[in-house]
Structure 1
Amino acid sequence: MIDPDARRLLWFLFAGSRGGENRIRIISLLKERPYNTNQLAEAMGLDYKAIQHHMSVLEKNNMVTKAGEKYGVLYFISPYLEHHIDAFDEVKAAIDKKTASRSGKK
């Protein structure tokens, strides 16, 4: 069963605030392997500062953890998010479905 508090936090971070779509993309990348800020910026085609901002938001909300220092910092999904990955997947699927229906896709 999905924790309602985790679900609420995930909805806020990924659907209820600006930048949620980019944060979903970041988490989706980090599920595959760790990245540093520069690698994320390159992979996503976004500005380094924008990635820094999103990583700060994700870190403050316990979605990611980091290892290393300065430019060598690697980000990973947090143990909290790993534990609640079903809730993340549910929120992502709902957002994807809503986005697809807006654009006429199914």
Structure 2
Amino acid sequence: MEKALWYLLTGTRGGANRARIVRLLDDQPRNANRLAAELGVDYNTVRHHLDMLVDHDVVEPGGDDYGKLYFLTDRFERHREAFERITDRMEPRDATDGVDTADTTE
């Protein structure tokens, strides 16, 4: 699991957003729409990150397809310390990682 966390969080683009998703799900289960709204990113971006996190057994879906909630897995919980160590070492990034914040108004 630790290798998967290194890959998901530091080895690919979007690692900061995946860490933010994990932290939000640690607070309480959420669906993809709510995650997108709270993170300020596109729904499809959140779905992509959730799919990667599901594929690596970090999160698991529960409930029906529409509006299904995502939860942290028991396996992740057993490796939480690795997640904390990795995120502590990540470079500080803008909270809007992956979001275009350019002001196009004049």
Q: Give the TM-score, by structure 2 length.
A: 0.84
Percent of paired sites with the same residue? 38
Tell me if 1:99 matches 2:92.
yes
Equivalent residue in structure 2 for 1:19, among 14, 20, 27 = 14
Q: Which residue of 2 aligns with 1:34?
A: 29
* Structure showing the higher helix proportion among its residues: 1
- Between the aligned partners of 1:74 and 1:99, the Cα distance in structure 2 is 29
Equivalent residue in structure 2 for 1:71, among 63, 66, 69 = 66
- For 1:15-54, what per-residue CA distance to the aligned partner results, in whole angstroms no more than 9, with x for missing partners? 0111101000000100110000000000000000000100
SS in 2 for 1:70: coil
- Between the aligned partners of 1:53 and 1:77, the Cα distance in structure 2 is 16
Tell me if 1:85 matches 2:70.
no
- RMSD value, Cα: 1.1
Which consecutive residues of structure 1, in runs of 5 or more, have no partner in the other structure?
Answer: 1-5, 101-106
SS in 1 for 2:23: helix
Aligned residues: 93
- Between the aligned partners of 1:55 and 1:7, the Cα distance in structure 2 is 18
Q: Which residue of 2 aligns with 1:104?
A: none
Stretches of 4+ aligned residues off by more than 3 angstroms: none
SS in 1 for 2:57: coil
Which consecutive residues of structure 2, in runs of 5 or more, have no partner in the other structure?
Answer: 94-106
- Between the aligned partners of 1:71 and 1:48, the Cα distance in structure 2 is 13
SS in 2 for 1:75: strand
Q: Give the TM-score, by structure 1 length.
A: 0.84
